[in-house]
Amino acid sequence: MTIPFFPPDLFEADRPLIHDLVFEAGTTNRFMLKDHVAALEDGFRRATGAADAIAVSSGTFAVLVALKAAGVGPGDEVIVQAYCCQPVASQVIALGATPVFVDVTADTMVMDPARVEERITPRTRAILPAHLFSCLVDMAPLRDIARRHGLVIVEDACVQQGATQDGVAAGRLGDVGTFSFFQVKAMGGCGEGGMIVTDDPEIGRRCRMLRNHGQDGATRFLHHIIGFNSRMDEIMAGFLNHRLARFDDILRSRARIAASYTERLSVLGNRITLPPPGVEGRCYYIYAVQSPDRDALRAFLLDRGIATHIYYPRILPHQRAFAAYADPRDRLDTAIRAARQNLALPIYPHMTDAQADAVVDGVLAFHTRH
Ligand SMILES: Cc1ncc(COP(=O)(O)O)c(C=O)c1O
C-alpha cells in the first residue's frame, strides 16, 4: 500500500465548483474583495466569535499585516520561537524589527512561555507565538507577561483553525490572530489565502487598509497609510466558503485518525514522543512524533510505501537567512532536539482505516526490529 504525505486527490470532488468559480469571478470585474470575501469574513467572525475578520492573500501576509497593524516597526524586537516555519522571523525582519528567538517545550515543540520573560528588553514590542502541528502554545502565561510588560500578542494560528483553548477559539487568544489557507492546511484552499481576526477595532481597521494599499474601502485612490497588495480574490473566497461549511467534519475526521495513532502507538512508551493526547479543541493538521532514530524510521516507512515529512529540519537561527539574528545568549537545546527528532506522519480526512492502520503498523514494525 502506498500512502502519500500530501494526498493528490484533495480537490477531486470540488472540480465543478472550482471551474464555475474561476469563470464567474475570474472573468468579471468582481474578482476580489466582493461578496464571497465578505461572506468568508462573516463566517470567520461567527466561527471564532471575533469582532472583526479580514481576509488576505496568504498566511504570511496575515502575519505581516497583523504585526504592522499592531504597531511593530523599525527598531522593535519581537519574541518568536526558534523552532518554527520561517514567516515568524522573516515578516518581523520585513518590518525593520528584530526577531528574538526563544526555546520550545519538549512535548509540544511550541513556544515555552517560561523562556519569554528573560528575553524582554526595553525594545520588545510584541510576542509572536505560533501554534504548530496539533499543539497550541500555552497562552495564559503569555497574556500575563504581555500585560505586565505592555506588549502586544500576535497569535499565529495559521495551522490551528478550529482549535480552542479554555473555550476560546485559536486566533482570539492574543490581541490579533492569523490563519492560512495554503492548499494542504486543514482548510486548504485551491491556492493561497489567509485571514486575520481581532477584537480590537483599531487593529482591524488598520489591517483592512494595509491589505489594500492603505485605502479605506470607501474611496479609491485615497491612500491613508502605506500598505500592500494582500487582497483575497473571489475564486478563493468562494471555494473557502464551501470548505468552511464542512470544516467541523474535516476536524472530526482528522481527530479520529489522530486518536487511533495515539492509542496504538502508546505501547512504545518512551521510545517515541507522541503529541500530548487530547482531541477536544485541537486541529490535527499534522500528527508529529519525536524519535531519536528519526531518519532510520523515516527510511523504513518509505520502504513500506509510507511517506512522511520533516517540519522543520533546522531551527531558524541556524538557517543562513536568519544567522545574523542568532544571539549567543540563545538557549535553544529543546528546539535543536525537536528539529533532529520530529517526524510528521500522514494524516488527512479521507484516509481509510486500512491506511491509518498501515501507518501505525509501520512505526511499530520499525521498533520491533531496532
Ligand atoms: C505557523 C505558520 N505560520 C505562517 C505560515 C504561512 O502561511 P502561508 O503559507 O499561507 O503563507 C505557515 C505556513 O505553513 C505556518 O505553518
Alpha-carbon span 48 to 187, nearest angstrom: 14
CA distances from 41 to 65, 227, 237 (A): 16, 20, 9
**For 255-272, what is the mean pLDDT?**
96
pLDDT tens, residue by residue, 209-238: 999 999 998 999 999 999 999 999 999 999
Are 130 and 274 within one domain? no
Beta strands at 176-180 and 194-198: parallel, antiparallel or unpaired = antiparallel
* Residue 1 located in a structural domain: no
The per-residue pLDDT for 370 is 80
The per-residue pLDDT for 328 is 83
Are 152 and 173 within one domain? yes
* Residue 253 located in a structural domain: yes
pLDDT tier at 278, thresholds 50, 70, 90: confident
Choosing from 245, 266, 293, the residue where a domain stops is: 245
Residue 294 has pLDDT above 80, yes or no: yes
Atom of ligand 1 minimally distant from the CA of 61: 11
| 24-33, 40-49, 224-233, 314-323: range with lowest mean pLDDT | 24-33
- 182 CB under 6 A from ligand 1? yes
pLDDT tens, residue by residue, 116-171: 999 999 999 999 999 999 999 999 999 999 999 999 999 999 999 999 999 999 99
The strand pairing partners of 135, in sequence order, are 132
Are 203 and 318 within one domain? no
- 192 CB under 6 A from ligand 1? yes
Beta strands in 23-162 (DSSP E): 52-56, 77-81, 98-102, 124-128, 152-156
Choosing from 222, 245, 268, the residue where a domain stops is: 245
Domains held by the chain: number: 2
- 174 CB under 6 A from ligand 1? no
**For 331-356, what is the mean pLDDT?**
96
The per-residue pLDDT for 330 is 83
Are 172 and 107 within one domain? yes
CB distance 253 to 349 below 8 Å: yes
Atom of ligand 1 minimally distant from the CA of 132: 1
**For 345-355, what is the mean pLDDT?**
95
Choosing from 245, 271, 289, the residue where a domain stops is: 245
Q: Give the residue numbers annotated as catalytic, written as ranges.
A: 185
Are 184 and 287 within one domain? no
* Residue 6 located in a structural domain: no
Q: Which of 182, 228, 311, 342 most suits a substitution to test ligand 1, by most atoms within 8 Å of the C-beta?
A: 182
CB distance 20 to 173 below 8 Å: no
Work out the percent of the chain whose per-residue pLDDT is above 70.
Answer: 100
**For 42-52, what is the mean pLDDT?**
98
Instruction: Find the 365 Cα to ligand 1 centroid distance in Å.
Output: 33
SS3 of 196-249: the string is: EEECCHHHHHHHHHHCECCCCCCCCCCCCCCCCECCCEHHHHHHHHHHHHCHHH
Residue with CA closest to ligand 1 atom 2: 158
The per-residue pLDDT for 90 is 98
Domain that holds residue 60: 12-245
Are 213 and 360 within one domain? no
- 158 CB under 6 A from ligand 1? yes
* Residue 7 located in a structural domain: no
- 193 CB under 6 A from ligand 1? no
Of 88, 92, 87, 158, the closest CA to residue 125 belongs to 92
* Residue 16 located in a structural domain: yes
**For 335-350, what is the mean pLDDT?**
97
Are 261 and 211 within one domain? no
CB count within 10 Å of CB 46 equals: 11
Of 18, 125, 35, the closest CA to residue 80 belongs to 125
Are 271 and 357 within one domain? yes
The per-residue pLDDT for 279 is 72
**For 364-369, what is the mean pLDDT?**
95
Which three cell numbers, joined as nine digits, stand for 205? 481597521
The CATH code of the domain that includes 30 is 3.40.640.10
* Residue 331 located in a structural domain: yes
Instruction: Find the 33 Cα to ligand 1 centroid distance in Å.
Output: 21
Instruction: Find the 194 Cα to ligand 1 centroid distance in Å.
Output: 9
Are 274 and 215 within one domain? no
**For 243-261, what is the mean pLDDT?**
96
pLDDT tens, residue by residue, 64-123: 999 999 999 999 999 999 999 999 999 999 999 999 999 999 999 999 999 999 999 999
pLDDT tens, residue by residue, 156-214: 999 999 999 999 999 999 999 999 999 999 999 999 999 999 999 999 999 999 999 99
The mean pLDDT of the chain is: 96
The CATH code of the domain that includes 339 is 3.90.1150.10
The per-residue pLDDT for 329 is 80
The per-residue pLDDT for 78 is 98
Residues 6+ apart with CB under 8 A from 321: 86, 90
Are 229 and 279 within one domain? no
Instruction: Find the 25 Cα to ligand 1 centroid distance in Å.
Output: 26
The per-residue pLDDT for 198 is 98
Are 237 and 275 within one domain? no
Q: Which of 6, 57, 58, 60 most suits a substitution to test ligand 1, by most atoms within 8 Å of the C-beta?
A: 60
Instruction: Find the 219 Cα to ligand 1 centroid distance in Å.
Output: 32
